[in-house]
Structure 1
């Protein structure tokens, strides 16, 4: 097995520090410029050049080599290791062009060579299992500026690609390779070894499902196919490659698949699915009316009608400015549908009960997979529908994961299904006095008389239940302090529903359906960064953006703070902020923007713990272990094994520990929680 931290001596006889320093000097590039180009932290680059990094990560060296366009350095890095990650003999080589060109085995990304070699590999992959003539290769690689040795150069590039493929795949008829075919070359490999071929296979299966009138299977296959796309095809490659007819055709098929999936999803009311799949494509298809018409419909269906109308206005401006045309019938029809729905909502609002207002939804909300099933459940659809009782959706998740934001978005999206209004409250302590205050507010909102000062909690709760009975209302409670605190607020009987958010799961709440709010994926984190700090700026430093997402542990609050800091400092590169966050001693101090602070949120969660749990957190953090079994914890906490396991599980409920799976029953602090616990 090859680990990601390959020793520097593996790069050859010459010292890595000297090799990097010499290549940078020869190219006339400063350390700061090279750090920005490669997405490596400036301090990390300096340490590498000084020879103070005992085992530079191969992925970092690869990015440095590619930024310098140094063939010798690229070759030596390739000899050192395939890339960051683990590789076993059974891991197949996989090429990806649906996004940035990459080659990988397992979790390790391989070095794909010089820019010209990468361009040739991309061209062959665009037309895999087909012959690409030499004239076409010449045109794409050099565009008329033909060197005298072009024939030898093509031969060299092909030989290197062949070595890349053949040395990392097992011999046999399915071995990936490049074959000479007459005057051209053919990249030969199976569908499962190249994402664009896999995309083609899945869309063909979707077409077969459509012919069999199996809409559910068709939608699932299209969703799987679209998930293969990590961005525009061959993102970052030369325009001669990204504008190649084969690349254009693959992009057209992506759009066609997305349109079909959107039609299927909209027919089933799955608006968030449409936003998640079409949003990334529409950013690169700014004038495609069909895509934007479906996005308008999905935004409106999610309760974001103002955003839908803003989107129409933006597309309208682009069409008139860039193409000199007006929006077509499809886009106009989508706009008119939104306007008609606004009018109907306004009319219904005049007869609805007075309600407590929801907090304002964030304008840069990033779609989540949890959104759709929760909405389905609250509106009586989907596999978890509650029959004969008010559905209760209970969300839980770690500090800063975005439970409150998601709750508001869901409530706004389903509000039209509850014509008698929405009741919203945010808890602080969950004491009986606070519950009585919340109930009193709900009674007033429902048109009931204010409770007298002598009325107790049970009296106010009974009055509330009388008023809410038979009404189609949605009760939304954020920061729920526990089952006992929220039970009096839950409506009884069909027609109404409750949406709750808490840090710990409300596992003792009868009849509730529980939904864990997960951390952001890397793509979601990068998307939020782009919406806050600027799309062009973030995508130009994609590697640094992904590093930021990792350092923020996918916690939306941390990602949002990072984006706000970048927005406030346009002179900073993303790599500069990533370098600052890489220092664990300062990471929590860096994750502060205005009144938003990761440390403060974690401190609130820590202070709310029972003393025995606070002591356990401090002791486990003080031990310095990154992960521990109940037996390890028992030794640290000086208690019995069963008691230690109970304490660990209670900390899991409070989202301060995470089970790592496996037979050993290992637990670990999430990265940001670990840093805060160590400070305590």
Structure 2
């Protein structure tokens, strides 16, 4: 017995080439449910949910057995009774759903292999199986509804894949009426809007193509409250730029793949290859493990994004630059370096404008709206091996639009805080450097002989610097500048806490300026955190409840302020649940408590060394 069951339209049953009427709607639903689960047992309760829209009646089991008996008289032993279940045995070619999906898969493969002619024939054959909406005429609001919706969605996808194949074959002029009819029935299909735009563009009607984009934008906004997606926006921008990739090329000319018109467009601006990384700091001898972690994050599977955090002066920027140089050969499309200077006023739009200009977009062409800048940026960098390093970030919103949307670009963000709301990023937090690495850095700057002659004083110097790379660099520079100067002399000078921050400054390097910037960032978001820092600087070890009383806030609010300081690496939690300030932070906080807020604002105006922050 040869069966043919058709579900892509009105449910039909053919036996040995002759159409047989299955019966009433519920019997056709039983047939459809068993066919769509062909060669699998379908339990009676599950089958009942495929037939009745609400709770099946008490007679559901008896009714199902009656329907099954009627179908068995037509299909014979193809319908097998199981314990409390039925199974319909079918060969793949006996169900139109299977044949449609087989041909659709073949056509999709031909399209991917740049064989548009073969894809057109195969995808056309796949769509020929459809005679109307799937499961037409069956009861609705049943368990089969999701199956019909999925099949109808597959039909739309295959139509759009066939359209891509026909565009690749140069049939743009013949597609216009079909695409308009398709969009009239399915106005939310962004892919189809793009196809209609491209067909009009290739017919030479650029104004009509741009008008279609306006229509698509209006429909999406009215019905969904959304702007067009990245692909449609990218296509619109490419049309404005008269991108040569949009034009159809006859066979024998430059290759045009079926996916190129929509998926692989690049705006026709001149792509500059930026090389903006600062020089590799050759004296950088610490943080080898953390540098390896950043490199691993940049070379992992997409998205490649890493956030480097740490205290002021911990070497965050130095590490980011060194890691950037280590992987620069993997990013031949360029490296962009942006320093926000820990300015809280910098917006994401300003960052995007800076990056777009670095990539060759003329300043006059940079869009005004942030979302348009973000869309153009994603279009420009899609698939390109570009490395972005953004230094001095104060909040996640400043870099969120730069997060890689797919393979190709990579992002290093340097921040004092953890930026916990950034999703899908690797975080590398810098702790104070250990004594061995601290001695290595001092030896590189001042000479190993001088340190070897005074091991005890060297240990004291390392302790005073508190694991701060910036403080160690300054101390090493001072030792190297003083011919014949002893380590113990410098330690004695630094031992006076009141003068320590004055001495930890050398040319444009300053621990005080670095700390001032870090504190100003925290204070801009939470003034209480700044006041808490001053209180702990004036009276170290003050219990939280006491600090809360003195500041006139609840203990819970005081804890939140202290947690802000911990997140900014300006305070540390001890083993007993209390909070303490690192040595250099404590020195600066004591200064704040003595001179008040004005010095904070003045100090924050001086940017600290970009190599050490």
TM-score by length of 2: 0.50
TM-score by length of 1: 0.45
- Bigger RCO (CA 8 Å, 6+ sep): 2
